[in-house]
Structure 1
């Protein structure tokens, strides 16, 4: 199981394809704060709720200096369908190899209906302007999570 990140850690670098197949890197956002959130699968109810919540609050987050990137193991084609069906405005990137998910501690053993399974651990990492972890939230709930982040960040 991968190590969970803690405030002060250097956020692992990544370059992943977005819904249109274009590379998106954490380094592209240097000088801005970035909310990187990890979710199990596009087009599922909980993940849709969370992505819609981020989209609904994107203007507020952007005005406060935060960019938002959603990461899942999905391929760009599925991310494009997700974005288009739900009118999502957040940047969605795919990590089918799960390397970034593992580097962020967002993939590993989790409980699912009482069984221990390997999978994506719904997580949100807030990275500061210098690429350091400011906040690390693991095992978050899809519903209400964005409101909690906004509260925790004092926005």
Structure 2
């Protein structure tokens, strides 16, 4: 099933870097920036996380909660959060259930080699739990601005 703008966002439950259980349905009535990224503490992922961190207050003022998801472990997420003082949950999806539900897990090419990985994608979920926008090519250095332009 391919998700489209207007589709119901698949609900999920996972554990964040602090051991808290996070479910999408907990955010009903709020707008959510649900961003999927390949790997903790890599250049593009760090730029994206830090841009969302630096603009977190502006995003909150527009009614957005931010949730990051990757297939890294809770321990990896905790180190990433502490290193960069990230103010939002990072959900560990080690069993790849969430990335598969959102259709962002797949074949990738890097330096001529093919491997399986997470395609960097951001879903904006509205107060009713529907996908209002899918950003398939997030600008890692300007991710927050891409979101804020939606308002």
Deviation at 1:111, TM superposition (A): 2.8
Provide the secondary structure at the position in 2 that maps to 1:49.
helix
Cα distance in structure 2, aligned partners of 1:20 and 1:146: 24
Partner in structure 1 of residue 35 of structure 2: 37
Distance 2:60 2:143 in 1: 17
What residue number does 1:71 align with? 69
> Alignment partner for residue 52 of structure 2, among 29, 51, 54?
54
1:144 aligned residue? 142
- Match for 2:108 among 103, 107, 110? 110
Q: TM-score, normalised by structure 2?
A: 0.93
Q: Answer yes or no: is the 8 Å Cα contact 1:124–1:136 preserved in 2.
A: yes
Runs (5+) with no aligned partner, structure 1: none
Aligned-partner Cα distance in 2 for 1:75–1:21 = 11
Normalising by the residue count of structure 1, what TM-score does the alignment of the two structures yield? Answer: 0.91
Contact 2:51-2:144 within 8 A present in 1 as well: yes
Instruction: State the SS of the aligned residue for 1:131.
Output: coil
**Offset of residue 137 of structure 1:** 1.4
Alignment match, 2:117:
119
Partner of 1:52: helix, strand, or coil?
Answer: helix
1:43 CA drift (Å): 1.2
The Cα offsets for residues 86-128 of structure 1, whole Å up to 9 and x where unpaired, read as: 1111211110011100111111122323443321000000111
Instruction: Give distance in 1, aligned partners of 2:88 and 2:43.
Output: 17
Secondary structure in structure 2 of the residue aligned to 1:135: strand
Unaligned runs of 5+ in 2: none
> Could you tell me which of 96, 99, 102 is aligned with 1:101?
99
How many residue pairs were aligned?
151
